[in-house]
Amino acid sequence: KAGVTQTPRYLIKTRGQQVTLSCSPISGHRSVSWYQQTPGQGLQFLFEYFSETQRNKGNFPGRFSGRQFSNSRSEMNVSTLELGDSALYLCASSQGQGGHQPQHFGDGTRLSIL
Amino acid sequence: DAKTTQPPSMDCAEGRAANLPCNHSTISGNEYVYWYRQIHSQGPQYIIHGLKNNETNEMASLIITEDRKSSTLILPHATLRDTAVYYCIADKANAGGTSYGKLTFGQGTILTVHP
């Protein structure tokens, strides 16, 4: 079974631009979560989607948004990029219901803001 | 989710067992203990999880104390490829509301396996 796939792996943007990151979950998984990882703050939860609906949201500004499509693929968007948005953005998928199942992570998109 | 406390770093000799402790003294009855690890430049990798019974899989064993206030992850025969940051997380999973899809990561334990 293929794992979680994130594209692109690396991205360089400048301040003020916007960016869209993509995540393809494991086949059959309906929940997708997004995380931001920085050296200073560690891994922080951004939001989670299940069946195209956002079920949970972390403490990030509205510039960070996401969506999920009917095939469970997900995208996250960051608008008006700031230098502090430089980070590794990780996506994780799970079945999303029916008890405890682990999340499976992709290898992330490394976003650098110049 | 309950807070977990782990030592910042540990060393282990290759071929020996690595025992990584985790304290979760405020864990609630519906929270499972999960372990993940993150090898440099990769996403976190799920290792194992449990509620109150000891668990074993092909990667590791998880020992949870009877009062559930602490646990130990055991890598029985550590290799150089086990060098990583190990995270212990107490998680309610899909219990509703703010628990959906959210894992709360701490700083973890940097395990270094030496030849």
Asked if A31 and B101 touch (Cβ cutoff 8 Å), the reply is yes
- In chain B, which residues have their Cβ closer than 8 Å to the Cβ of A94? 101
B18-38, pLDDT tens digit by residue? 999 999 999 988 889 999 999
Instruction: Give residue B41's pLDDT.
Output: 84
Three-state DSSP state, A84: helix
% pLDDT > 70, chain B: 94
Q: Which residues of chain A have pLDDT under 70?
A: 1, 98-99
CA pair distance A97, A87, nearest whole angstrom = 29
What is the structure's pLDDT at A97? 73
Strand residues in A8-86 grouped as ranges (E): 10-13, 19-24, 31-38, 42-50, 53-57, 64-68, 74-78
- Comparing CA positions, the residue from A41, A9, A12 lying closest to residue A106 is A9
- pLDDT tens string A59-84: 999 999 999 999 999 999 999 999 99
A30, B99, B46, B10: CA torsion to nearest 10:
160
Distance from CA of A58 to the nearest CA of B (A): 8
Q: Using the beta-carbon criterion (under 8 Å), do A90 and B91 form an inter-chain contact?
A: no
Taking the CA of residue B16 and the nearest CA in chain A, the distance in Å comes to 27
- Dihedral sign computed on CA atoms, order B40, A93, A2, A19: negative
Residue range B35-60: average pLDDT?
Answer: 95
Contact B93 A92 (CB under 8 A): no
Residue (of B30, B38, B5, B40) closest to B91 by Cα position: B30
Distance CA(B109)–CA(B81), nearest Å, equals: 15
Rg of chain B over all Cα atoms, to the nearest angstrom: 14
Tens of pLDDT, residues B57-112: 999 999 999 999 999 999 999 999 999 999 999 987 666 666 778 899 999 999 99
Q: List CB contacts (< 8 A) between B46 and chain A.
A: 102-105
Asked if A50 lies within 8 A of B45 by C-beta distance, the reply is: no
- Closest Cβ–Cβ partner in A56, A100, A107 for B43: A107
